[in-house]
Structure 1
Amino acid sequence: MKTPYSTTTTAVGATGTPARFLLLGDSHAGAVGRAAQAAGLPFQGGPVGSGREFNADFFDVDPRGGDVVFRDTEADRRYRGFLDALGVDGLDRLPIPLVCTFGLSMHTLATTEYWRIYRDPRGVFAPGFLTAGLFADIVRTMVRGALAFYAHALDLGLRVLAVLPPQRVPGMSDPDVFLAAQETVRGELERLGVELVDLRPRVTDATGFQRPAFCEAADTIHGNLAFGRLIVHDLLARGL
């Protein structure tokens, strides 16, 4: 599937410069890749599909080892290409950190229609619903595949970093659900031991949502190159 940011780096191994990290994700990974390219930061990877594809059951563990196999043929093809460029044959052989956006396309989880059943006739949630255990259980179930992917990568001994998404909510999604679901997923990733790249204090305004300076003007979802540059700066500050 094509995404707005589906281009990736040339194989960094061909330049003789070791890649600093493998980037895997949905279209939100595109801004990271573009910024890394612009900064001359050697990496490999990029988007392998759209956000909705990487919430639930999207991969299997290869029974012959610790590698993963994406169930979507095109996603797996792209992933294999990244590994080939790095000169490794599986995630279990990856010698560099993994930077990922799987399960963090919050606007997909916050699609208004998904939550209609939990609203009263006025369209209002019961008091405390968005902080209740039921809500958290639903969100964890929705992103069970992404959480399993992160847990597997950590079990392989990889350093894993997850990038929180641009704080942008399209008209199809509920802003309150977006924020509450993000807190649930963020907490789960922290519990697993994933390092979080969280730029919210630097890119949001008083509403808690993304400032225009960090928004891709052509759509209502993505961050722009300036947002990607802040992510890359954060990665560099972490030693990548």
Structure 2
Amino acid sequence: MSQLTITGNSHTIALNQGLGQVPEAAGVTVFGLGAGVYETEAFSATEAGRVVLTQPVYAENLVRFTGQDHIAPDRLWGICMGTHNPRLYGDRIWTGAAAPSALAGDGQRPVSSGLIDRMADEDQRHIRAFLTRLKDAGIRFFVISAPPVRADHQNIVRGADPEVLLEIDRRSRARFRGFLDGLGVDFVDFPPETADAQGLLRPEYAAGLLKNGKRDPHHGNAEYGALMLRRILAEVGQPA
């Protein structure tokens, strides 16, 4: 049986925490490459037909957890990248000064759907390059969603209309899904039961405090991770 290995940004933490709650995932390996902030810079390359990671933290963790310096073709990979959208909706401008055109009220600067799409494309640029390299190299992989927008996101706490953040998130996700469809890559979305009627992450699935005592800004917890793992296994399965 070949191995299922899940990696990516910090949203892998919840998946790792949830492993103990999912006995059927006993053969799955989960590890993080590093923080999502590194996704905004070039972090991969193709060398002699092999996909390598050029970002030092990512490269170090790949070797640490797999013993290999490249994305090896000997397993099925789950890549948790591409739908971490707080980089787009986390700016204070969305707390009242601006809103997507369809939601803009009096005194707010309307931001067109086209501009939001271009912002999403730019944010995803290096992730798309990495995934394209994997596809070109014949690596077997699928992509894993980040959690929904948190109801306690700092901009909502500051007074932003949750629909503003949700609209930005929806458009960004749609752009990424379109890219994956064109690439012929499967996508495992977040479990629908983890979102409320509005589309926000339910509080019972939100991570608590960070190690430094501050409130976690956007991650899911172990319960979320367990549900996500079960969804992954249901849709992708443990490869034979």
- TM-score, length basis structure 1: 0.77
Tell me whether 1:184 sits opposite 2:175 in the alignment: yes
Preserved contact between residue 50 and residue 137 of structure 2 (Cα < 8 Å): yes
State the Cα RMSD in Å. 2.7
Deviation (angstroms), 1:102:
2.1
Preserved contact between residue 19 and residue 44 of structure 1 (Cα < 8 Å): no
Q: Go from structure 1 to structure 2 and tell me whether the alpha carbon gap of 1:60 and 1:39 turns closer, same or farther (over 3 Å shift).
A: same
Tell me whether 1:81 sits opposite 2:30 in the alignment: no
Aligned to 2:14: 31
Preserved contact between residue 168 and residue 220 of structure 1 (Cα < 8 Å): no
Aligned to 2:32: 47
Q: Between the two proteins, what is the percent identity of the paired residues?
A: 21
Task: Work out the number of aligned pairs and report it.
Answer: 213
Preserved contact between residue 49 and residue 137 of structure 2 (Cα < 8 Å): no
Tell me whether 1:229 sits opposite 2:226 in the alignment: yes
Preserved contact between residue 19 and residue 43 of structure 1 (Cα < 8 Å): no
One-letter identity of the residue aligned with 2:60: R
Distance, in Å, in 2 between the alignment partners of 1:37 and 1:192 is: 33
Q: Secondary structure at the match of 1:162?
A: strand
Q: After superposition, where does 1:5-20 map in structure 2 within 5 Å?
A: 20=3
Deviation (angstroms), 1:214:
1.5
Which of the residues 51, 64, 70 maps onto 1:90?
A: 70
Instruction: Indicate the structure with greater strand content.
Output: 2
Distance, in Å, in 2 between the alignment partners of 1:208 and 1:108 is: 18
One-letter identity of the residue aligned with 2:181: E
Preserved contact between residue 73 and residue 140 of structure 2 (Cα < 8 Å): no
Q: Go from structure 1 to structure 2 and tell me whether the alpha carbon gap of 1:99 and 1:123 turns closer, same or farther (over 3 Å shift).
A: same
Distance, in Å, in 2 between the alignment partners of 1:234 and 1:118 is: 33
One-letter identity of the residue aligned with 1:78: N
- TM-score, length basis structure 2: 0.77
Note the residue ranges of structure 1 that are not aligned, 5 or more in a row: 1-17
Preserved contact between residue 19 and residue 229 of structure 2 (Cα < 8 Å): yes
Preserved contact between residue 21 and residue 43 of structure 1 (Cα < 8 Å): yes
Note the residue ranges of structure 2 that are not aligned, 5 or more in a row: 157-163, 210-215
Q: Secondary structure at the match of 1:231?
A: helix
Deviation (angstroms), 1:81:
1.6
Deviation (angstroms), 1:190:
2.5
Q: Go from structure 1 to structure 2 and tell me whether the alpha carbon gap of 1:231 and 1:19 turns closer, same or farther (over 3 Å shift).
A: farther
Q: After superposition, where does 1:80-229 map in structure 2 within 5 Å?
A: 80-84=63-67, 88-91=68-71, 93-113=72-92, 122-126=107-111, 129-130=112-113, 132=114, 134-169=115-150, 170-172=153-155, 175=165, 176-218=167-209, 219-229=216-226
Distance, in Å, in 1 between the alignment partners of 2:13 and 2:74 is: 22
Q: Secondary structure at the match of 1:24?
A: strand
